[in-house]
Amino acid sequence: MDEYVEQHSSPSSELTRWIREETATRCPAWADIGSSKSQGGFLAMLVSLQRPASILEIGTFAGHGAVSMAERLPQGGRLVTVDNSAADPVALDIAQRAFAHSTVAGRISLEIADAGEYLKSTTESYDLIFVDADKPNYLNYLDVICDRQLMKPSGVMIFDNTLWGGRVLEPDLPESEDFESEPDPEAWVRLMQDDWARHVRAFNNEVLTRPGFEVVLAPIADGMTLIRVQRD
């Protein structure tokens, strides 16, 4: 299905294609965590429709999402993208090369920082916030964004991977376990995936209880939740 979706969507820009190819070649072990071609197309379309002056992305990786959005920013628009380099420093090198390309040069600022620290310290507010890092902290990030009014009144938030490979549907997710100290690598990954599924599911349930939130969980890629705050 993914292939059909990609084949029946408009081609992506040369620069985003370059990022996908560089990522597959230079950091193959991590390539899957970057946004896909169809996600990039969706983000680009959203920016074209919303015409945000300011975008914040949490989780840069190789810059695919950042470039997809920055290429469509209106004149004078700016994008800040934050990454703590936890995944792969090679990916950030690809991102920095892409950000220097003439089609986006001067529009993107890369902040090497912890997402939570950045959200607590930034004094700006944004029209579009794309959160795509550190799923167990999604609710914490949401709270800081709301408490510090980091999203402009007409803004939109997007949280990625909110289907978490379908694990959010699993009825028998075990209760919280300490996966960090698990010595077996395979068991560690399974326990970590379960743990993150619990966090993502808690996030999906919680956003529906927030007053004024309009929520759409779009089944694009691994699930992208769009949130707008209704004001009357």
Ligand X SMILES: C[S@@+](CC[C@H](N)C(=O)[O-])C[C@H]1O[C@@H](n2cnc3c(N)ncnc32)[C@H](O)[C@@H]1O
Residue closer to ligand X by CB (options 13, 35) is 35
Pick one of 52, 65, 155, 223: the residue that binds ligand X (CB under 6 A).
Answer: 65
Residue closer to ligand X by CB (options 36, 204) is 36
User: Using an 8 Å Cβ cutoff, are 225 and 164 in contact?
Assistant: no
What's the distance, CA 178 to chain centroid? 26
Provide, rounded to whole angstroms, the least separation between the CB of residue 135 and ligand X.
Answer: 9
195 contacts ligand X (rule: CB under 6 A): no
What tokens does 68 get?
């997809």
Helix (H, G, I), strand (E, B) or coil at 25: helix
Site string for ligand X, 24-43 (x = CB under 6 A): ---------xxx--------
Provide, rounded to whole angstroms, the least separation between the CB of residue 232 and ligand X.
Answer: 33
82 contacts ligand X (rule: CB under 6 A): yes
Q: Which amino acid is at 175?
A: E
The DSSP-derived string for 63-98 is: SHHHHHHHTTPPTT-EEEEEE-S-S-HHHHHHHHHH
Provide, rounded to whole angstroms, the least separation between the CB of residue 171 and ligand X.
Answer: 27
Residue closer to ligand X by CB (options 65, 155) is 65
What's the distance, CA 71 to chain centroid? 17
115 contacts ligand X (rule: CB under 6 A): yes
Provide, rounded to whole angstroms, the least separation between the CB of residue 212 and ligand X.
Answer: 26
Rounded CA-CA distance 52/87 in Å is 28
What tokens does 60 get?
């840069």
What's the distance, CA 21 to chain centroid? 20
Number of residues that bind ligand X (CB under 6 A): 21
* Sites of contact with ligand X (CB under 6 A): 33-35, 57, 59-61, 64-65, 82-87, 91, 114-115, 132-134
